[in-house]
Structure 1
Amino acid sequence: MFDAKKLEQIAKQIHESMPAPVKELGSDVNQKVQQVIQGQLNKLDVVSREEFDVQTQVLLRTRQKLNELDAKFAEIETKLSEK
Structure 2
Amino acid sequence: MMDRQDIDQLALRLVSLVPPGLAHAHQDLRTNFGDVLAHGLRRLDLVTREEFDVQSQLLARTRAKVEELERRVADLETIAASRGS
TM-score when scaled to structure 2? Answer: 0.67
Q: Look up the match of 1:20.
A: 23
Q: 1:74 to 1:22 in 2, by over 3 A?
A: same
* Unpaired runs of at least 5, structure 1: none
Q: Look up the match of 2:36.
A: 36
> Residue 64 of structure 1: CA displacement?
0.4
Q: For this pair of structures, how many residues does the alignment match?
A: 80
Percent of aligned positions with the same letter in both sequences?
36
Q: Look up the match of 1:4.
A: 4
Q: 1:81 to 1:17 in 2, by over 3 A?
A: closer
Matches of 2:11 and 2:50, distance apart in 1: 23
Matches of 1:81 and 1:11, distance apart in 2: 66
> Residue 59 of structure 1: CA displacement?
1.6
Aligned pairs for 1:66-77 within 5 A: 66-77=66-77
RMSD, matched Cα: 2.4
TM-score when scaled to structure 1? Answer: 0.68
Q: Look up the match of 2:57.
A: 57
Matches of 2:39 and 2:57, distance apart in 1: 30
* Unpaired runs of at least 5, structure 2: none
